């Protein structure tokens, strides 16, 4: 799937620089970064620790403003936190005093225009949440609390919460990093299925090169700090990708090529 097939760029960074701190203590996370992400595209960002991967997510969500350059989403310059984002992190961040259903419903209580209509439309919103929970295999666990679930189940619920308000972009910051390999690969398939059904624009930050190649249309490699884009690799593997995909010579070659860029011999 190429950029023309995916449509116009939805997320654009134009010579963006972002740093933290001041004076001699200042750390530049991203330096003069250009990026175009097509609407509905699934991209992954890989690179060494501290190269600005998570800073990229803060910029495209509006949680941080660039020192230099511009970030635009949907053709509009980002000047404040966006309501069109769904986010999932390495830790599920589910609220322990809320049931799984109520955790998933949380964005609909907060994000407009849903927040104003939540009480009136609660039955419809609950139907949306239940449908997502069934999709990820949690249909029978809606009344459970997070502490009654495994880590993998909590991450599934976190993905449902990130998608329930049908965001235009989904930002994933190492969402499977704390899970065992079997659970991680199971969740890769769930994310792929949800993306193929909903087609949000996805930005995945990961240290796992196999995860990046398995899930993404395009993989960006960032340099050590200050982060700059070293390469942009199109992933031509057909979808849906399965466990067998990871044993294909093309998959192995792509993974090794990315590793060489991050850790050259």
Confidence (pTM) = 0.89
Do 24 and 98 sit in the same domain of this protein? no
Do 143 and 163 sit in the same domain of this protein? yes
Do 129 and 23 sit in the same domain of this protein? no
Judging by DSSP bridges, how do beta strands 201-205 and 218-222 pair with one another?
A: unpaired
> For the purposes of burial, counting CB atoms within 10 Å of the CB of 178, is it exposed (0-12), middle (13-18) or buried (19 or more)?
middle
- pLDDT grade, residue 39 (50/70/90)? very high
Query: 150-177: per-residue pLDDT in tens?
Result: 989 999 899 999 988 888 899 999 888 8
Q: Is residue 187 part of a domain?
A: no
Provide the pLDDT for residue 115: 65
Q: How long a stretch of residues is the chain? A: 265
> For the purposes of burial, counting CB atoms within 10 Å of the CB of 172, is it exposed (0-12), middle (13-18) or buried (19 or more)?
buried
Res 34 pLDDT > 80: yes
Query: 208-232: per-residue pLDDT in tens?
Result: 999 999 999 999 999 888 888 999 9
Mean pLDDT (the chain) is 88
- CATH code at position 230: 3.40.50.300
Provide the pLDDT for residue 226: 83
Provide the pLDDT for residue 114: 67
Do 62 and 106 sit in the same domain of this protein? no
Q: Is residue 186 part of a domain?
A: no
Provide the pLDDT for residue 29: 87
Q: Is residue 235 part of a domain?
A: yes
The residue among 257 and 9 whose pLDDT is bigger is 257
List the structure tokens of 193: 């299925």
Residue pair 43/34 in contact (Cβ under 8 Å)? The answer is no
Do 18 and 78 sit in the same domain of this protein? yes
Q: Is residue 12 part of a domain?
A: yes
Provide the pLDDT for residue 12: 95
How many structural domains does the chain have?
2
Provide the pLDDT for residue 262: 82
- pLDDT grade, residue 4 (50/70/90)? very low
Do 75 and 24 sit in the same domain of this protein? yes
Do 96 and 45 sit in the same domain of this protein? no
Query: 229-238: per-residue pLDDT in tens?
Result: 999 999 999 9
Q: Is residue 111 part of a domain?
A: yes
Query: 86-107: per-residue pLDDT in tens?
Result: 988 877 789 999 999 999 998 8
Residue pair 96/148 in contact (Cβ under 8 Å)? The answer is no
Do 77 and 95 sit in the same domain of this protein? no
Provide the pLDDT for residue 5: 45
The residue among 51 and 218 whose pLDDT is bigger is 218
Helix (H, G, I), strand (E, B) or coil at 229: strand
> For 64-68, 84-88, 129-133, which range has the lowest pLDDT when averaged over its residues?
84-88
Q: Above pLDDT 70, what percent of the chain?
A: 93
Do 254 and 265 sit in the same domain of this protein? yes
Do 62 and 124 sit in the same domain of this protein? no
Provide the pLDDT for residue 40: 93
Provide the pLDDT for residue 243: 92
Q: Is residue 185 part of a domain?
A: no
CA dihedral 169, 173, 175, 181 (to 10 degrees): 120
Q: Is residue 194 part of a domain?
A: no
Helix (H, G, I), strand (E, B) or coil at 16: strand
Res 189 pLDDT > 80: yes
Do 264 and 217 sit in the same domain of this protein? yes
Q: In the listed set 146, 167, 188, which residue is the last one of a domain according to the structure?
A: 167
Domain that holds residue 130: 91-167
Provide the pLDDT for residue 48: 82
Q: In the listed set 145, 167, 189, which residue is the last one of a domain according to the structure?
A: 167
Do 111 and 76 sit in the same domain of this protein? no
Q: Is residue 183 part of a domain?
A: no
List the structure tokens of 171: 């930002």
- What is d(CA 214, CA 55) in angstroms, rounded to the nearest whole number? 23
């Amino acid at each position: 799937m190429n950029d023309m097939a995916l449509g116009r760029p939805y997320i654009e960074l134009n010579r963006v620089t972002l740093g933290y701190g001041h004076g001699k203590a200042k750390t530049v996370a991203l330096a003069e970064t250009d990026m175009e992400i097509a609407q509905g595209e699934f991209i992954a960002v890989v690179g060494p620790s501290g190269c600005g991967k998570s800073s990229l997510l803060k910029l495209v969500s509006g949680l941080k403003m660039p020192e230099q350059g511009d970030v635009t989403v949907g053709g509009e310059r980002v000047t404040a936190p966006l309501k069109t984002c769904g986010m999932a992190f390495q830790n599920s961040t589910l609220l322990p005093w809320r049931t799984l259903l109520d955790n998933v419903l949380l964005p609909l209580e907060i994000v407009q225009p849903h927040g104003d209509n939540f009480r009136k439309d609660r039955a419809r919103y609950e139907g949306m949440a239940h449908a997502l929970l069934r999709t990820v295999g949690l249909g029978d666990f809606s009344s459970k609390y997070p502490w009654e679930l495994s880590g993998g189940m909590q991450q599934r619920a976190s993905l449902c919460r990130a998608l329930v308000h049908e965001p235009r972009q989904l930002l994933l910051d190492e969402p499977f990093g704390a899970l065992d390999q079997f659970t991680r690969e199971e969740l890769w398939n769930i994310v792929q299925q949800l993306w193929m059904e909903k087609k949000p624009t996805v930005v995945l930050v990961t240290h796992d090169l196999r995860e990046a190649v398995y899930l993404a249309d395009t993989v960006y490699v960032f340099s050590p700090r200050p982060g700059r884009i070293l390469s942009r690799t199109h992933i031509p593997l057909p979808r849906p990708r399965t466990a067998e995909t990871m044993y294909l010579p093309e998959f192995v070659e792509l993974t090794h090529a990315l590793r060489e860029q991050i850790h050259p011999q």
